[in-house]
Amino acid sequence: MTLIATLLESFDPPSDPSEGPGAEWLAGHAEGVEAGRAAQRAEAAALDDRLVQRIEDMAFAHAEARAGLAEALAPLFETLVTRLLPGLSDTILGAQLRAALEAEAARALDTPLELRLPENQVEPVSALFSDGIYSWLRPIADPGLAPGEAVITGPSRPETHLDCAATIDTAQQALAALCTPGEEETKDHG
């Protein structure tokens, strides 16, 4: 054998059984291994018992802390409910109403109004709207309207009926009544 081989431990099975551990040593080894395992099981059981006890203590402490916190917050909740929320609900209601109205107004403004006109007046009126300023107003032919009439309708508004001919007739009658002396006036001067 070389020098290195004599320094290293040999793991080869002994060629002679008398060279290995004896029966007494093997029995003591087995007894020691079993004693170590029993000690480990006892320690693990003690750790498990302590862990269970700690978890139970923590759960109890958590429940106590939670109950104490809820009890401490009760006056705050009472104040919120009796003093703050009534005024806040009015403010929130107002804000929600405003937001709903603004949304409805925006939706209504995005939808053009229809300007229904007699068929022969759609082209002349449409020419007046060609510059884009009146893009919210869409002229549509309506054969049921007489010359001088118009109807404005929208998705969420009632119809507005315009009768220019009747308005002009009424204005002419009013001016004629102002300019033509009545019978009573001619009798007093005549």
DSSP 183: H
Q: What is the pLDDT of residue 35?
A: 93
Q: Report yes or no on whether pTM surpasses 0.85.
A: no
Q: What is the pLDDT of residue 189?
A: 56
Per-residue CA distances from 134 to 11, 126, 127, 157, 158 (Å): 104, 10, 11, 18, 20
Q: What is the pLDDT of residue 18?
A: 64
Torsion sign, CA atoms 11, 14, 17, 20? negative
- Which residues of the chain fall short of a pLDDT of 70? 1-7, 9-11, 13-20, 88-91, 93-94, 108-109, 133, 156-157, 180-190
Q: What is the pLDDT of residue 115?
A: 84
Q: In the beta sheet, which residues pair with residue 161?
A: 151
Q: What is the pLDDT of residue 47?
A: 82
Q: What is the pLDDT of residue 104?
A: 76
